[in-house]
Amino acid sequence: MKNLIFSRKKVFAGSLLPYWIVVGISKVAFMQKYNFDGDLCEMSAGGIPISRITVEELDKIGIRINSRQIKEISVADAVNNLFVSTMDGCLSNEIYVDDCQKTNEGRITINTKGG
């Protein structure tokens, strides 16, 4: 087992919105399963994200993390990568677990730029 420690920085924009850490499925497979076209969701005319996945579905497949929260997660040795999703379905880059363990001692910080 690999132990990872996630922390989510406090940022005013988006601080009330949870994120989900998705482990055990590659980002490409996730995007194919939910028929996502790209990392970002569409925006309404008012600049509001149009959700492309439900919170209930994210709760089934991911680990919820809120602003200023720290989560310690154990993942199987076979897990090589993970990614983060917003509640609307905007996706982060993939994080390679082995690289993170070598360079950051298993610590991963999630921050938000611009919301």
CA angle, corner 109, sides to 106 and 113, nearest 5?
Answer: 155
Band of pLDDT at residue 23, cut at 50, 70 and 90: very high
Residue 115 in this model has a pLDDT that exceeds 60:
no
Distance CA 76, CA 63 (A): 15
Distance CA 25, CA 34 (A): 12
33 — alpha (psi -120 to 50), left (phi > 0) or beta?
alpha
What amino acid occupies position 3?
N
pLDDT top residue among 73 and 12: 73
Distance CA 65, CA 98 (A): 21
Q: What domains, with CATH codes, occur in the chain?
A: 2-110 (2.60.40)
Band of pLDDT at residue 11, cut at 50, 70 and 90: low
CA angle, corner 26, sides to 78 and 31, nearest 5?
Answer: 165
* pLDDT tens, residue by residue, 62-104: 999 998 899 998 888 888 999 999 888 889 999 888 887 777 6
Mean pLDDT value across residues 10-36:
86
Residue 29 in this model has a pLDDT that exceeds 90:
yes
pLDDT averaged over the chain? Answer: 86
